[in-house]
Structure 1
């Protein structure tokens, strides 16, 4: 078993520390997501369309799957290793600061590498660096944040992520015909995300004097074992999160291609539509994320926002399917984005609440974050398979609706949270 965590938080945080945590979580989430969406949502798919127009869908699906697998492994490993890290800077801080540098450099390199293989390798390295930051940051919710403030902190994480996602698409669209400056901007933003996080939040206590485990091969292998005792709710949360993100990334990662190949827009028109969608998403997601989390803390409920979010996401998925035009995609951003903001605002708080053993928070949250990776990995694979098999995006939307409905059912089955 991992050593007992340090007593990082008391029953209440001071107002200054609470503010610093809110700012740190928001800035971190905003910066890394801004960087990633500049590339993933616009510049990378457009670059693939430029260099391999006849196989762009298949290549993009493979790249998304490869990077998701890299994320899956690195998130689990880093979460575990950060639990065991002993340094004067604490358990989480060294990983967060260094991860940003790795992710930033490799994300920039995607813009200058010449072929799909080298682009894929650099993209995977970037995901490793990104998860060197994300896994410890999320684990800090358990280490350092009192239970009755986790919804609020989760809301700031969600708001930063959604705001960064929306703005990233806007910025990316501006560089769709002149891509290198966009890749430079994304690399810089990614590199700064980890540094700014540890600058803004209260200094983490040293873990240097914490008891150390005896390190042997068997102990290392056993430390990665998934939780089993009292873990029913943990696994329900895992399945629910996987299915919900599965549904969302089926559409999110293919917005540009949906606009160009399903709606029938040109490159320039699709870039303009993505900018409009992103502005809408920026407004609605900030409103929903920053309101639902604190409300969840106040009423002591996590499931109500999840049910509302699932309904809104299903409606958002249905609109492009039924309307088959750019307005349908814009309404997807408005209604689906509001729902996803609601879900995101309580997502991490719910994950921390269902942990079977908070002493192994980094490792177990790493396992839960595999759900994110599975969603990012399986969603694009299914979308790519549907498009290849049918020649259309028409079946993507009803499939996403079924997935989000199943996700809601699994989360409602959780007993530990209300």
Structure 2
């Protein structure tokens, strides 16, 4: 295969392998993508973090009448397998799509609309079983949105811009966190010398209306992305006859032929799981381990999430362009893992609100360093650009999977050894994930 990607302003995709599915020959305008790609990711992570860190634990507490970690774990686990396989399934479906609107755009729009409807259904769940089932459906559908969206980077972005666009994509997590924290949780005004709570809106969005708001944001972001930065027509691409056996076998990536892909997958899995094990249990951890009073809980969660997100953004903005200049990625991943492990020791030494602030500052910086290089590294180890949607979908399991499974893993840890055990386990997992990047040979 030969691929020509101009360095500035646009990208032209040309392929010539007789045995491969060809990619669209089209000139993309990179300019709009600088805005629309991070915006679409912000909406996605507003969903993952707004529901996972706020609405889901609140709904569990409303259903059970207590901070039931077992019920939260059950609600999070139900449908997790279904959700995780959604990424590669929808990714491969987008690879095979032939439409005048391109391969990715139809799935971004379809999954955004269906995901919004599923979120509205989840808002009315009145049992742990129904909550778990509806959350599993939301996760499955929105992993389709994520698979098609992330495939846009290898489709359209020249390699010389991988660091910059990796940083832009990485902004989705902290900015989604800030929006969720301000709108759903609010921030104590006293932290800034003010009275009352900044945001929060009196708890108006800490329930059904929160689901409605997130659903609307996802649909609007999908529309903006597909209209402002349209995909290339795929009608002239060769069409493949559907074969179920071939479709299923295509999910297998041979580790002997593509070891870098496998090591990058495992590295991302460890780093993300270590981060989200603590983040998704923030509310219960602050209530039962740090002993934050109930009336201060939501604003405190919101404040700490914003502290973490602001530090992440600062690191992403600094490191992303630096990666393009130095042309090296693995040292940044290793540094992020060491930083995350050190940050996680702070709440162990100082189980106070101040200790949690310090942890979120240090942990936010470490996570930002990682997010600045994550997508760039992943894009460089894809086995085949013709299957970018499927391959990005597979490797996105290492991103979406930890967010889905973190409450379950955290629940097991808390049940076995208490909240204080979360931090050393998360530190060990994050560090192990970062160290595994050293096994990726094709990236410096």
TM-score by length of 2: 0.87
User: In structure 2, how many angstroms separate the alpha carbons of the residues matched to 1:224 and 1:230?
Assistant: 14
Contact 2:162 2:376 (C-alpha < 8 Å) held by counterparts: yes
1:134 to 146, 160, 175: 146
1:180 to 183, 192, 208: 208
Contact 1:43 1:175 (C-alpha < 8 Å) held by counterparts: no
CA RMSD of aligned residues (A): 1.9
1:251 to 263, 271, 278: 278
SS in 2 for 1:110: helix
Post-superposition Cα deviations, 1:212-266, rounded to whole Å, max 9, x if no partner, equal 1122232222222224453111111011111111111110110000000111112
1:6 to 24, 35, 46: 24
Residue 149 (structure 1) shift: 0.8
Contact 2:337 2:435 (C-alpha < 8 Å) held by counterparts: no
Contact 2:304 2:360 (C-alpha < 8 Å) held by counterparts: yes
Contact 2:332 2:369 (C-alpha < 8 Å) held by counterparts: yes
Match of 2:389 in 1: 362
Q: 1:317 to 1:35 in 2, by over 3 A?
A: same
Matched, 1:403 2:412: no
Match of 2:320 in 1: 293
Contact 1:227 1:356 (C-alpha < 8 Å) held by counterparts: no
Residue 86 (structure 1) shift: 0.5
Correspondence 1:245-394 to 2 at 5 A: 245-390=272-417, 392-394=418-420
Residue 176 (structure 1) shift: 7.8
SS in 2 for 1:236: helix
Contact 1:175 1:181 (C-alpha < 8 Å) held by counterparts: no
SS in 1 for 2:420: coil
TM-score by length of 1: 0.93
User: In structure 2, how many angstroms separate the alpha carbons of the residues matched to 1:318 and 1:373?
Assistant: 25
The worse-fitting range, judged by mean Cα deviation, of 286-295 and 61-70 is 61-70
Post-superposition Cα deviations, 1:329-383, rounded to whole Å, max 9, x if no partner, equal 2222211111111111211111110112222211111111111233234433221
Task: Give the gaps of 5 or more residues in structure 2.
Answer: 1-18, 186-199
Contact 1:68 1:373 (C-alpha < 8 Å) held by counterparts: no
Post-superposition Cα deviations, 1:80-139, rounded to whole Å, max 9, x if no partner, equal 111100111111010001111111222233222222222222212211221221101111
Number of equivalences: 410
The worse-fitting range, judged by mean Cα deviation, of 253-262 and 350-359 is 350-359
Match of 1:240 in 2: 267
Correspondence 1:3-82 to 2 at 5 A: 3-8=21-26, 17-54=29-66, 56-82=68-94
1:189 to 210, 217, 227: 217
Match of 1:171 in 2: 183
Q: 1:325 to 1:373 in 2, by over 3 A?
A: same
User: In structure 2, how many angstroms separate the alpha carbons of the residues matched to 1:51 and 1:314?
Assistant: 35
Task: Give the gaps of 5 or more residues in structure 1.
Answer: none
Query: Would you tell me which structure has more helix in proportion to its own residues?
Result: 1
Q: 1:233 to 1:64 in 2, by over 3 A?
A: same
